[in-house]
Amino acid sequence: MNISKQDALTWFRFFAELPEEEPLGPRQREIASAVFTQIETAVERRRAALLADIPGLRAVVPGREGSVPYAPGQARCTLFVGPEDRFPAGCRSCLLGSGLSAVRRTNRCNAACPFCYDYGVLDQIPPIGEGLWEIGGTKYREEDLPLLFALQRHPTGIAYVYLEPFMEIELYMPVIRRFHEAGIYQHMYTNGILADEGNLAALGEAGLDELRFNLGATQAADGVIQAMKTAKKWIPRVGIETPMTREFFEVFHRKQDQILSTGIDFMNCAELHLNENNLENYAEEPLYFYREGYLSPICSRDLTLRLMKTAAVEGWPLAVHDCSNATKFARDIHLRAAEGGWFGQSSYGCEFSGIPYAAFLPALEDPGLTFAEEEPLPPGYRPGDLVW
């Protein structure tokens, strides 16, 4: 049903007032799903115009080593602008290889970013364990790695995540060296606060292939920008990976020349998605569901596409990657297929235990968001009807 925006707003105001423990009935769920589709359709329609306006837009597509020009409706994993040889190999591994194969060690962080999935609960993150590394959901000691390499198929790449590795970066060097000797591509995420010449050189010498700075964690602090420049001396590939927020978009443009002069290779503009920990930090933002899975501020990817157009028009010497919800959707479909899952299987889905209907009110109250097609609700679904 192509529910009208006014009917959608009326119903969602009602849903937002229901007790959390009271589930929606079948027809009410139909109404909610229709609203999510209307919002998502309106958002995608607007973005189609933004995409068409980006010169030189490239698509990474299944089954190809390189990329192809963007075309509406194509089967694609992701989009980028800029030199193809600077598109990060870690992303290619994530999207077309063995997926985001995570190696976990550090459960602490020295920042508290409002966009963090663990916002407000950083002091409750469980440790992996003394002397242990979590790989594929199993705990290993460093001396177990040769056995793991000998018995299992090597991943196309691995990523060091969870949470800020530079809090104990010296522990990573022997493990990085082991993976390097096994010929496995490695990338790492950091906020860059503790990065310096010494530990960056040590990472490069150990064999780290790619380092990604969450530049938004410090609002592009000068010291972190300098650390990115230093990292390029020691590590083959260096870039930015930050959730795109209004604040980061503004500070990036203010420091654009300084950032681009570091010589970094890529910039992954992640579409910010929300969970129960960070949702309240974006309570006033118009939000949308992507395929009723990831919940995101509408502005996040819109800002990414605006930045990509600027990069393409100005000819920035780095790849700017649209790491959107659509990209993560494609990633999970590919990963399940590579693992032998049944047709259509994917781990992509909603990260909320209960849908926060009140969070959609700013979108429905936004006069700038126009539903593409509206029609009256059928009898039995209209506001004032007894709907279950």
User: What is the tens place of the pLDDT at every residue in 11-40?
Assistant: 999 999 999 888 899 999 999 999 999 999
Tell me how far apart the alpha carbons of residues 296 and 283 are, in angstroms, rounded to a whole number: 11
Q: Residue 271 contacts by C-beta under 8 Å, 6 or more apart in sequence?
A: 243, 244, 294, 296, 300, 301, 304, 323, 324, 325, 327
Q: Is-cis flag, bond preceding 163, omega within 30?
A: yes
pLDDT attached to residue 100: 85
Instruction: Walk across the sheet containing 138-140 and list its strands.
Output: 68-69, 58-60, 78-81, 319-323, 266-271, 237-244, 210-213, 185-190, 157-161, 102-104, 133-135, 138-140
The amino acid sitting at 282 is Y
- Answer whether residue 365 is part of any domain: no
Q: What share of the chain is helix, strand, coil (3-state, %, to 5)?
A: 45, 15, 40
Domain membership of residue 235 as a residue range: 38-352
User: What is the tens place of the pLDDT at every residue in 149-159?
Assistant: 999 999 999 99
pLDDT attached to residue 250: 98
pLDDT attached to residue 339: 86
Q: Phi then psi for 373, rounded to 5 degrees? A: -150, 135
8 Å CB contact between 69 and 57:
yes
User: What is the tens place of the pLDDT at every residue in 110-128?
Assistant: 999 999 999 999 999 999 9
How does residue 326 score in pLDDT terms, banded at 50, 70 and 90?
very high
CATH of the domain at 244: 3.20.20.70
Question: DSSP code of 188?
Answer: E
- Answer whether residue 205 is part of any domain: yes
pLDDT attached to residue 48: 97
Q: Residues of the chain with pLDDT > 90: what percent?
A: 93
pLDDT attached to residue 383: 87
Q: How many domains would you assign to the chain?
A: 1
pLDDT attached to residue 85: 97
User: What is the tens place of the pLDDT at every residue in 217-260?
Assistant: 999 999 999 999 999 999 999 999 999 999 999 999 999 999 99
Assess whether pLDDT exceeds 80 at residue 325. yes
Q: Which two tokens stand for residue 351?
A: 């990260």
pLDDT attached to residue 132: 98
User: What is the tens place of the pLDDT at every residue in 257-300?
Assistant: 999 999 999 999 999 999 999 999 999 999 999 999 999 999 99
How does residue 99 score in pLDDT terms, banded at 50, 70 and 90?
confident
- Answer whether residue 9 is part of any domain: no
Mean pLDDT of 367-372: 96
pLDDT attached to residue 36: 98
pLDDT attached to residue 65: 87
Assess whether pLDDT exceeds 80 at residue 386. no
How does residue 80 score in pLDDT terms, banded at 50, 70 and 90?
very high
How does residue 318 score in pLDDT terms, banded at 50, 70 and 90?
very high
Mean pLDDT of 358-382: 96
Assess whether pLDDT exceeds 80 at residue 388. no
Assess whether pLDDT exceeds 90 at residue 387. no
User: What is the tens place of the pLDDT at every residue in 132-178?
Assistant: 999 999 999 999 999 999 999 999 999 999 999 999 999 999 999 99
